[in-house]
């Protein structure tokens, strides 16, 4: 099974994903803070996916992809090239089904993340730190083992899995007016947009993007996918270029992008740590940074705020 | 009303406290971690009081004390001498009843904590940084205003309030075998011991104390209150000497004390941050440090672990 599967999921696929991952994924809590409400002038409902298995929302998509396979497909395992939260999530998800997870890891990847992927039971495949080498190695593993490729975001099953987060959040926090997620490759933003609008077409959708990796904002503005950007941001989880179908979802669902500086993001990260008492990674703080930067757009609204991950190197905090 | 009120509360007073504070206090969540379970060999149920109002369990006791007052008493406000979490909690609790909170603050107290107390609406009274000056200033304020003294731990109402945490935890996590709290002045440990044993007399109770402030452990060992210790620990929340009645509660309820080094505590703090993704203060990590130090005493048991607070200076982390 090597055909590309990156069409947008519909709400039924997202509901199916929710049922499929329910035995394995956590229902993550929603936290609030009177201080952050006062600072923003809005009512903020923080959806805590850093408390998801593996410390990131990525487990939802990976788990859906793994359990969507037929037994015959699953027997060959899964493969991806991601040295970050998706690689870890796929390893954890594969373990829930007892199948092999092959993870292609470029030389120079963050040691702590690679160790976590190995602890989760993945088979590591090292390669040179280029996109071409990663894809070649993944294709080689795929050809040799028959493992199914699970792309981090340009994958229908992955988008559907990430969308389950919105179903959950809209049940936990009734009457939201708006919803904001970080935007990297767009797997989360697209899945969430589809799920959220299926439930409430009037919901205002926002995406937060680092100024140093604002390809999605530029792509939406220019009406075509901008792929010439060289990411320069401390938000390591948001450096991926947005996928073609992911971008299409943002356009269809009128997701408004807000770009934030790394300094704004780090300040917001400290607020989340000190006020919500939650250890979240820097990419997760872009959403609060966007809300505080564009106070007048959010003031008076009930806003769902997706916290994406909490895998932080405590020895190298960005302040 | 200036008489000393430091007799031990009974379970009825603790149940009354639970009803009294319910409109104001949060039901804090219980978190778990597969990694920390594996490390300890036990099943750990972390009771997250750093997510309580004011970022610490102290709000429970302060709130009970404030709402236990008659209207005539309350009209004069409350007073305490604490520049830490209790001062902040009393200010927040007084605000829920719309009465004055006087907080005596010694020169040299941590600026961030003093600012938080001020933000919470307290009237600050500065004094020299000695125990005698603090008590004299508190007595002066009490005499002048008629405010009711609310001691941080040697106070029946405060102990009863802290005990409500155990009622809540034992409902949230059924079938616990053991329970561990940090021990400073002993308000928490005594309230929790009384509440927990009223519900399940077979529960094993533990207290964690810094080696550099091990007056409770020495007091229990010697059968009398040891007051000659000069605290030397980074656990700023656990430097107080244990109160007379608090010690009595530990003795009656056979609370076993475990002393931990600051290095063990800091290592445990990092584990809580990275695995539970929770920002907890250093004093809160003594409990996990004790469990990991005495692995064989906890392995195989279901242990309630009380996380006491999350008020941390992010600019001055102890690693």
Tokens of A190: 């697209």
Tokens of A8: 């947008």
Q: What is the pLDDT of residue B191?
A: 98
Q: Give the length of chain A.
A: 319
Chain B contact present for A50, CB below 8 A? yes
- pLDDT exceeding 70 applies to what percent of chain B? 99
Nearest to B279 among A51, A278, A315 (CB): A278
Q: Which residues of A touch B273 (CB under 8 A)?
A: 279, 312, 314
Handedness of CA A87, A89, A94, A98 (dihedral sign): positive
Distances (CA, A) of A65 to A83, A94, A227, B60: 18, 9, 26, 45
Element holding B20 (H helix, E strand)? helix B11-21
For the segment B261-305, what is each residue's pLDDT rounded down to a tens digit? Answer: 999 999 999 999 999 999 999 999 999 999 999 999 999 999 999
Q: What is the pLDDT of residue A6?
A: 84
Residues 286-315 in B contacting A (C-alpha not used; CB under 8 Å): 310, 312, 314-315
Nearest to B274 among A270, A314, A319 (CB): A314
For residues A159-167, average pLDDT: 98
For the segment B302-318, what is each residue's pLDDT rounded down to a tens digit? Answer: 999 999 999 999 998 99
Rounded-to-integer distance, Cα B86 and Cα B82, Å: 6
- Residue A135 reports pLDDT greater than 70: yes
Band of pLDDT at residue B111, cut at 50, 70 and 90 = confident
Q: What is the pLDDT of residue A303?
A: 98
Q: Kindly give, in sequence order, each residue whose CB lies less than 8 Å from that of residue B45, ignoring residues fewer than 6 positions away.
A: B30, B32, B169, B172, B173, B176, B302, B303, B304, B305
Q: Which residues of B touch A315 (CB under 8 A)?
A: 319
> Collapsing DSSP states into helix, strand and coil, what is residue B305?
strand
pLDDT, greater one: B2 or A73: A73
- Residue B6 reports pLDDT greater than 90: no
Question: Is B182 in contact with B306 (CB distance < 8 Å)?
Answer: yes
Q: Which residues of B touch A319 (CB under 8 A)?
A: 314-315
For residues A51-64, average pLDDT: 97
Rounded-to-integer distance, Cα B58 and Cα B49, Å: 9
For all residues of chain A together, what is the average pLDDT? 95
Chain B contact present for A71, CB below 8 A? no
Q: Which residue in A270, A279, A310, A319 has the most chain B C-beta atoms within 10 A of its own C-beta, making it the best mutation to test that interface?
A: A279
> Collapsing DSSP states into helix, strand and coil, what is residue B293?
helix
Rounded-to-integer distance, Cα A241 and Cα A319, Å: 26
For residues B136-146, average pLDDT: 96
Rounded-to-integer distance, Cα A270 and Cα A283, Å: 12
For residues A223-245, average pLDDT: 94
Strand ranges for chain B from DSSP E: 30-31, 43-48, 78-81, 101-106, 123-127, 148-149, 178-182, 204-210, 256-260, 302-307
Band of pLDDT at residue A110, cut at 50, 70 and 90 = confident
Residues of chain A with CATH 3.40.50.1100: 11-57+155-307, 59-149
- Residue B63 reports pLDDT greater than 60: yes
For residues B166-170, average pLDDT: 98
Nearest to A277 among B270, B310, B317 (CB): B310
For the segment A256-312, what is each residue's pLDDT rounded down to a tens digit? Answer: 999 999 999 999 999 999 999 999 999 999 999 999 999 999 999 999 999 999 999
3-state secondary structure chain A: CCCCCCCCCCHHHHHHHHHHHCCCCCCCCEECCHHHHHHHCCEEEEEEHHHCHHHECHHHHHHHHHHHCCHHHHCCCEEECCCCHHHHHHHHHHHHHCCCEEEEEECCCCHHHHHHHHHCCCEEEEECCCHHHHHHHHHHHHHHHCCEECCCCCCHHHHHHHHHHHHHHHHHCCCCCEEEEECCCCHHHHHHHHHHHHHCCCCEEEEEEEHHHCHHHHHHHHCCCCCCCCCCCCCHHHCCCCCHHHHHHHHHCCCEEEEECHHHHHHHHHHHHHHHCECCCHHHHHHHHHHHHCHHHHCCCEEEEEECECCCCCCCCCC
Q: Which residue is closest to B316 within chain A, CA to CA?
A: A319
Q: Which residue is closest to B310 within chain A, CA to CA?
A: A277
First CA to last CA distance, chain B: 46
Chain A contact present for B47, CB below 8 A? no
Contact B279 A280 (CB under 8 A): no
For all residues of chain B together, what is the average pLDDT? 95
Chain A contact present for B274, CB below 8 A? yes
ipTM over 0.90: yes
Contact B274 A312 (CB under 8 A): yes
Chain B contact present for A31, CB below 8 A? yes
Domain B11-57+155-307 classification at class level: alpha beta
Tokens of A76: 């060959």
**Across the beta sheet with A123-127, what order do the strands follow?**
A123-127, A101-106, A78-80, A148-149
For residues A96-106, average pLDDT: 96
Q: What is the pLDDT of residue B108?
A: 82
- Residue A1 reports pLDDT greater than 50: no
Q: Which of A113-127, B57-71, B168-182 has the lowest mean pLDDT?
A: A113-127
Q: What is the pLDDT of residue B4?
A: 53
Q: What is the pLDDT of residue A3?
A: 46
Q: What is the pLDDT of residue B83?
A: 74
Which residue is it, tokens 């107290």? Answer: B109
Structural domain A59-149, CATH architecture: 3-Layer(aba) Sandwich (3.40)
């Amino acid at each position: 099974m090597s055909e590309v599967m990156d069409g947008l999921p519909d709400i039924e696929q997202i509901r199916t994903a929710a049922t499929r991952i329910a035995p394995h994924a956590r229902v993550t809590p929603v936290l609030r803070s009177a201080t952050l409400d006062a600072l923003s002038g809005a009512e903020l409902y923080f959806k805590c996916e850093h408390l998801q298995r593996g410390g990131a929302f990525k487990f939802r998509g990976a788990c859906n992809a793994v359990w969507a396979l037929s037994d015959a497909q699953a027997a060959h395992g899964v493969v991806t090239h991601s040295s970050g939260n998706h690689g870890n999530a796929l390893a954890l998800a594969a373990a829930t089904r007892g199948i092999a997870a092959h993870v292609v890891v470029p030389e120079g990847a963050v040691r702590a993340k690679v160790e976590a992927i190995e602890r989760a039971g993945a088979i590591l495949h090292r390669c040179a730190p280029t996109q071409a080498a990663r894809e070649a190695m993944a294709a080689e593993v795929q050809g040799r083992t028959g493992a199914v490729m699970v792309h981090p975001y340009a994958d229908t099953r992955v988008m559907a899995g990430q969308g389950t987060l919105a179903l959950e959040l809209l049940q936990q926090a009734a009457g939201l007016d708006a919803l904001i997620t970080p935007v990297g490759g767009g797997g989360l933003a697209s899945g969430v947009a589809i799920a959220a609008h299926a439930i409430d077409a009037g919901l205002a959708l926002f995406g937060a993007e680092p100024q140093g990796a604002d390809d999605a904002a530029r792509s939406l503005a220019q009406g075509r996918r901008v792929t010439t950007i060289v990411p320069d941001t401390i938000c390591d989880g948001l450096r991926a270029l947005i996928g073609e179908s992911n971008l299409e979802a943002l356009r269809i669902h009128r997701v408004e992008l807000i770009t934030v500086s790394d300094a704004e993001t780090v300040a917001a990260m400290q607020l989340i740590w000190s006020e919500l008492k939650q250890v979240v990674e820097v990419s997760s703080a872009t959403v609060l940074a966007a809300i505080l930067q564009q106070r007048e757009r959010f003031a008076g609204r009930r806003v769902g705020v997706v916290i994406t991950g909490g895998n932080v190197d405590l020895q190298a905090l960005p302040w």
